[in-house]
Protein backbone atom coordinates (compact mmCIF):
# COMPACT_ATOMS: atom_id res chain seq x y z
CA UNK A 1 0.00 0.00 0.00
CA UNK A 2 1.31 3.44 -0.90
CA UNK A 3 2.10 6.11 1.67
CA UNK A 4 -1.04 8.20 2.45
CA UNK A 5 -1.12 11.59 0.71
CA UNK A 6 -2.78 13.17 3.76
CA UNK A 7 -3.37 11.89 7.29
CA UNK A 8 -4.89 13.65 10.27
CA UNK A 9 -5.59 12.14 13.68
CA UNK A 10 -7.44 13.60 16.63
CA UNK A 11 -10.14 14.98 14.34
CA UNK A 12 -13.67 15.58 15.63
CA UNK A 13 -16.09 14.25 12.99
CA UNK A 14 -19.74 15.19 13.16
CA UNK A 15 -22.85 14.93 11.04
CA UNK A 16 -25.38 17.74 11.51
CA UNK A 17 -25.54 18.28 15.28
CA UNK A 18 -24.38 14.76 16.15
CA UNK A 19 -20.76 13.98 17.00
CA UNK A 20 -19.62 10.68 15.47
CA UNK A 21 -16.16 10.67 17.03
CA UNK A 22 -14.02 13.11 18.96
CA UNK A 23 -10.66 11.61 18.03
CA UNK A 24 -11.17 10.30 14.50
CA UNK A 25 -8.86 10.03 11.53
CA UNK A 26 -9.01 11.50 8.05
CA UNK A 27 -6.89 9.83 5.40
CA UNK A 28 -6.38 10.34 1.68
CA UNK A 29 -4.65 7.35 0.13
CA UNK A 30 -4.73 5.67 -3.30
CA UNK A 31 -7.28 8.20 -4.60
CA UNK A 32 -9.78 7.64 -1.75
CA UNK A 33 -10.80 9.80 1.20
CA UNK A 34 -11.59 7.83 4.35
CA UNK A 35 -13.17 9.03 7.59
CA UNK A 36 -12.34 6.65 10.43
CA UNK A 37 -13.22 6.37 14.11
CA UNK A 38 -10.48 6.46 16.73
CA UNK A 39 -10.52 2.64 16.60
CA UNK A 40 -9.99 2.58 12.84
CA UNK A 41 -13.55 1.60 11.88
CA UNK A 42 -14.76 3.27 8.71
CA UNK A 43 -17.39 5.99 9.05
CA UNK A 44 -17.48 6.76 5.31
CA UNK A 45 -15.23 6.76 2.27
CA UNK A 46 -15.36 7.71 -1.39
CA UNK A 47 -13.09 8.37 -4.36
CA UNK A 48 -11.49 11.78 -3.93
CA UNK A 49 -12.97 13.00 -7.24
CA UNK A 50 -16.47 12.55 -5.74
CA UNK A 51 -15.66 14.46 -2.53
CA UNK A 52 -16.28 18.17 -2.05
CA UNK A 53 -14.26 19.88 0.67
CA UNK A 54 -14.91 23.45 1.71
CA UNK A 55 -14.71 25.96 4.52
CA UNK A 56 -18.06 26.59 6.26
CA UNK A 57 -19.25 30.18 6.42
CA UNK A 58 -19.07 31.94 9.76
CA UNK A 59 -17.17 29.08 11.42
CA UNK A 60 -13.85 29.07 13.26
CA UNK A 61 -10.73 28.45 11.16
CA UNK A 62 -10.37 24.91 12.50
CA UNK A 63 -13.51 23.64 10.70
CA UNK A 64 -13.92 22.05 7.28
CA UNK A 65 -16.90 20.51 5.50
CA UNK A 66 -16.64 17.29 3.53
CA UNK A 67 -19.50 16.14 1.28
CA UNK A 68 -19.14 12.37 0.84
CA UNK A 69 -21.74 10.12 -0.79
CA UNK A 70 -24.43 12.76 -0.37
CA UNK A 71 -23.70 13.22 3.35
CA UNK A 72 -22.17 16.34 4.85
CA UNK A 73 -19.59 15.92 7.60
CA UNK A 74 -18.19 18.68 9.78
CA UNK A 75 -14.51 18.11 10.55
CA UNK A 76 -12.81 19.97 13.37
CA UNK A 77 -9.10 19.96 12.66
CA UNK A 78 -6.52 22.44 13.93
CA UNK A 79 -6.49 26.20 13.50
CA UNK A 80 -2.86 25.96 12.44
CA UNK A 81 -0.42 23.17 11.72
CA UNK A 82 1.21 21.78 14.88
CA UNK A 83 4.89 22.48 15.47
CA UNK A 84 7.24 19.83 14.03
CA UNK A 85 7.28 16.84 16.34
CA UNK A 86 4.20 18.02 18.24
CA UNK A 87 0.96 15.98 18.21
CA UNK A 88 -2.26 17.41 16.87
CA UNK A 89 -4.28 17.58 13.68
CA UNK A 90 -3.13 19.71 10.75
CA UNK A 91 -4.95 22.87 9.76
CA UNK A 92 -8.35 22.61 8.08
CA UNK A 93 -6.96 24.66 5.18
CA UNK A 94 -4.36 21.94 4.54
CA UNK A 95 -7.10 19.27 4.42
CA UNK A 96 -9.07 21.24 1.81
CA UNK A 97 -5.92 21.75 -0.28
CA UNK A 98 -5.05 18.03 -0.03
CA UNK A 99 -8.51 17.00 -1.30
CA UNK A 100 -8.30 19.38 -4.25
CA UNK A 101 -4.73 18.31 -5.08
CA UNK A 102 -5.59 14.58 -4.90
CA UNK A 103 -8.65 15.10 -7.13
CA UNK A 104 -6.61 17.10 -9.64
CA UNK A 105 -8.49 20.34 -8.92
CA UNK A 106 -5.73 22.79 -8.05
CA UNK A 107 -6.71 26.09 -6.44
Contacts 24+ apart (CB under 8 A), 104-107: 104/49
Rg (CA), the chain: 13
Q: For all residues of the chain together, what is the average pLDDT?
A: 88
In the predicted structure, residue 10 carries a pLDDT above the cut 60? yes
Write down the pLDDT at residue 95: 93
Q: pLDDT tens across 39-49, in order?
A: 999 999 999 99
Whole-model pTM: value is 0.85
The DSSP output letter for 49 is G
What pLDDT band is residue 80 in, cutting at 50, 70 and 90? low
Amino acid sequence: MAEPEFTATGVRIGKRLRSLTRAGQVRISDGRLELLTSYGSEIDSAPVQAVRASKPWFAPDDRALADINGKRYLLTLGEQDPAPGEPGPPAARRFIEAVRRAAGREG
